[in-house]
Structure 1
Amino acid sequence: MQGLKGLIKILLVVFTTLLFANVAASIDPVLTMFNVENVIPQEDSVRFKTLLNVFDSYEAKLKTNPKDSVEIFKNLGLISAELKKPSDALVYTEKYIDNSTDVEILNKDSYNQIIETPEYQVLKDKYLIKWNTLIFICFYIVFIGVFFAVIINLKKSADRASNLLIGGFVLVHSLFILEWSLYCSNIRYSYPHTYIMSSSIALFYAPLLYFYFRRITGEHKFKSQDLLHFLAPVILLSILMPFYALSGEEKLKVMFNLSDLYSKKNFFFIVFIPKISSYIIYGYFIGRLYFKNRKELSEDTRDDDLNKWKRNLYYIHIMYMVSYTFYGFSASGIIPAESDFIYHSQMLAMSFMVLYIAKMAYLKPQIFNYKNFIEFENEDVAPKYVKSGLTESLSTELKEELMRLFSEERIYKDSNLNLDLISEKLNTTRHNTSQIINEQFNMNFFELINKFRIEEALNLLQEDINGDLNIIDVAYEVGYNNKVTFNKAFKKETSLTPTQFIESLNYN
């Protein structure tokens, strides 16, 4: 009996020895036995020692059998997390994800052991979907840009061609910002088909801005040969189509530089070089248009709203072009400098462009009906209508009818009032209406409108004895779309702001 017990003990020792030898020599049995990925954390010294032995065996296997390194990295990362070794977990998990594209590993229960550590936060920020204030702001700017692109093309009594161009220009910007937001928030890993989605329209940016400038500086009429400017964007799109047709899994491999089909450096030559070349070439032609047009203007009209608009668009484009150039060369490694400023500067320039255009649409909506500016703001107050067929009697008759429209019908209270509407009511041409306003009133269209609107506002404020009216209510009542434009016109006419005028009434 005693001999049998001794034999059993010997067999148990041999069995245990063989078991641990097998652990050291093989990976898969360990995974099956301990189920490392889903193991429930326990304060158990035996289990802890076993995991350490498994960890050591994996590290040994990594040196002797590098072919299985991806799977080894995975298990070393999981075991390191279980053992509460965040530094090792960070190193091995990064290696695993960068070689497998499997970001979902970070949702395994094993990482609950280190979820509060800085190392896990590094992994989370690098691979998992994240949100912060900057990303929310960018998504909001995207919404503003898309909203503007739609609304500006629904506007009536406006130049459809110029609004289509500026709307398309802003929409391209918005898609760039959207892709950047998806990139920074790591959503691209969950939706890989969003990767470089805006690159397909990258070369539309500069031609749209160029033709918009041509339209608002010289009322350019499009011809069939103008379509040649959009040939490069079409070619780029055709080159990118094979990439867009790839599966999401293959696109993830491209993101992690694991693909045999594409590498990130391919896109430097496919997208960045043509894109920056387009920006520089069209930027040159836009600059020529702007400065040539500015030189032809009188000193009095160089700083009007329309020309400030052109100037600001041009210089914001230059700012974006420079920032994108530094970003591209830095991202490609040509310039050995990586910084958040370089990375974010091109996005700040794009966002600034969208917000500036949206702001002007709100504060200066008449800019987007540029013909009024061309005809009224950029002409002398009393031009020489040498070839005009307007007789003196007809001019007087039209002047009287115009005064009736303003005095009795108060058409100036219509916030959409423009030259076409007035000409229609006078049953005459735009040219005749322009001549009457300039010669009979010695002022331009906007000055005449503002004169009547501010006079109406003054009457309303003087009659408001109890102070029941808000300034914005008065602005809307007399025909303005916003308070800022009203305040500016009010001060120009009275040398006081509306608030100062109300205070002077109360004082008296």
Structure 2
Amino acid sequence: MVSLVAVFVSCLLAVFLLTVRTRNRLANVLFGVFILLNAVDISSWFSNQFLLRYPTVLVFKATTGAIINPVFYLYALALCYSDFRLRARHLLHLTPFVLVNLVLMPRFYLADAAAQSSFLAHFGSTPEATFMLVLGHLQFVSYTVAVFLTLRKYRRAYRENYADTSIITHDWLFQLTVTLTVLHAIVVLKNALGFTPYSHLFNGFELLVGINATCILSWFVLKALYNPGLFRSIDSTIAPVEDLQAEKAPAAPAAPAQASPKIEAQLSRLQAHMAQAEPYLDPELTIQDLANHLNLPVRELSLLINHHLGQHFFDFVNEYRIQKAKRLLKDDSRKNLTVLEILYAVGFNSKSSFNTSFKKHTGLTPTQYRSA
């Protein structure tokens, strides 16, 4: 019953993801496919008995599990990078799926009905089953590591090039990957019990996996409903500053104190633009926007702020926002403005990020600063 509910919720969420209109449709489609593949896997708890009459369909359904991890990795890439597109080279991610089916070809797919039935009856002790189990776990580990590395690079690039500190895409993917890792660990433990004297606990763990799957899928639904604007992606060509430094100067980079006249002129121009034009008032300001204002290459501006000023882009922008907020808080003619109105007026879009940044720069909360 639990598995049936999980599959039903999965299908509802997948339909929502595949039909909702968003700017990042590819990510939604890949996540919808990921949900459906998991639904197919979960459905084994109530559909396998029926599919015994169709052994080829039953086994092929089991092999689709080899597509789940690659699809999740591609989903992570599509969610993090706005310019990500599926290419022919991404078909290489189907290699484990193809390999598993090729391994099953001689003794199952090409065998007669009687041989297929015998194969299924002893499937757990066959070399093919061991191969699928080991490959599945290795695949999960490798793709999970790849997702975490992608998130690490995304977070670094985002913090260095975007002014909004609430990295909802990173937080969502990180939470999701950790949750899936924990769930996978439970599945591994469940499978291991089958080879121990405690195999009687197998059914209990199977129920636990089903309940967890249902709860996680419900979490997906709530996340999608409460965050219809998910998620904030970046351009994949935006590299972390360390990479830009390595490209520009493989040797040790010059210290900020030794900045060239050109750098000094660019810094003065940047600071004058921030003070006069106040671009930081735009809550959606990105380093690409600021580079366009200054007619500078985005990579050059990124190095200028992150390396020569020694600040992440969001720290650089928020410093101007906090200075503006301090002036407004102390302005007697603006006493009628609430703290919430001021934080929106200076470019912040959340009270928590404003309070955190304000206290970081002043040691006081906005309310304390106003009354001091």
- Shorter-chain TM-score range: 0.5 to 0.7
Alignment of 1:102-501 (within 5 A): 151=22, 153=24, 164=26, 167=28, 170-175=31-36, 202-210=65-73, 225-233=89-97, 274=132, 277-284=135-142, 286-287=144-145, 290=148, 312=175, 314-325=177-188, 335-336=199-200, 337-339=202-204, 340-349=207-216, 365=232, 368=234, 374-375=240-241, 385=253, 392-438=260-306, 441-463=309-331, 464-467=334-337, 469=338, 471=340, 473-496=341-364, 500-501=365-366
Q: Give the aligned residue type for 1:208.
A: V
Deviations 1:220-263 (A, max 9, x none): 9998554222245578999xxxxxxxxxxxxxxxxxxxxx9xx9
Contact 2:34 2:71 in 1 (8 A): no
Letter in 1 for 2:67: F
In structure 1, how many angstroms separate the alpha carbons of the residues matched to 2:84 and 2:277? Answer: 36
Cα distance in 2 between the residues matched to 1:314 and 1:135 = 20
* Paired residue total: 324
Give RMSD over aligned pairs: 6.2
- The one-letter amino acid of 1:434's match is S
Bigger radius of gyration among the two: 1
Do the aligned partners of 1:172 and 1:201 also contact (CA within 8 Å) in 2? no
Residue segments in structure 1 that go unaligned for 5+ positions in a row: 1-124, 155-163, 185-194, 239-259
Contact residue 287 and residue 298 of structure 2 kept, 8 A: yes
CA shift for structure 1 position 457: 2.9
Q: What corresponds to 2:162 in structure 1?
A: none
Contact 1:419 1:433 in 2 (8 A): yes
Q: In 1, distance between residues paired with 2:8 and 2:149?
A: 38
Deviations 1:332-360 (A, max 9, x none): xx943333433212444555578789999
| Residue 403 to residue 394, structure 1, CA distance change in 2 (3 Å) | same
The CA distance in 2 between the partners of 1:199 and 1:470, in whole Å, is 56
Could you tell me whether the CA contact under 8 Å between 2:73 and 2:143 is conserved in 1?
Answer: yes
Q: TM-score scaled to structure 2, two decimals?
A: 0.57
Could you state the TM-score of these two structures normalised by the residue count of structure 1?
0.45
Go from structure 1 to structure 2 and tell me whether the alpha carbon gap of 1:353 and 1:201 turns closer, same or farther (over 3 Å shift): farther
Unaligned 5+ segments in structure 2 are: 46-57, 103-116, 160-165
Tell me, yes or no, if the aligned pair for 2:41 and 2:62 is still in contact at 8 Å.
no
| Residue deviations 1:34-87 (CA, integer Å, cap 9, x gap) | xxxxxxxxxxxxxxxxxxxxxxxxxxxxxxxxxxxxxxxxxxxxxxxxxxxxxx
C-alpha distance in structure 2 between counterparts of 1:292 and 1:174, whole Å: 21
User: Comparing both chains, which one has the higher relative contact order based on Cα–Cα distances under 8 Å and sequence gaps of 6 or more?
Assistant: 2
Q: 1:369 and 1:225, CA in 2 relative to 1: closer, same or farther beyond 3 A?
A: closer
Letter in 2 for 1:491: K
* Counterpart Cα distance in 2 of 1:363 and 1:479: 20
Contact 2:17 2:29 in 1 (8 A): no
Q: Tell me, what secondary structure is at the counterpart of 1:479? A: coil
Whole-angstrom CA distance in 2 between matches of 1:137 and 1:410: 47
Q: Distance in 1 between matches of 2:147 and 2:90?
A: 16
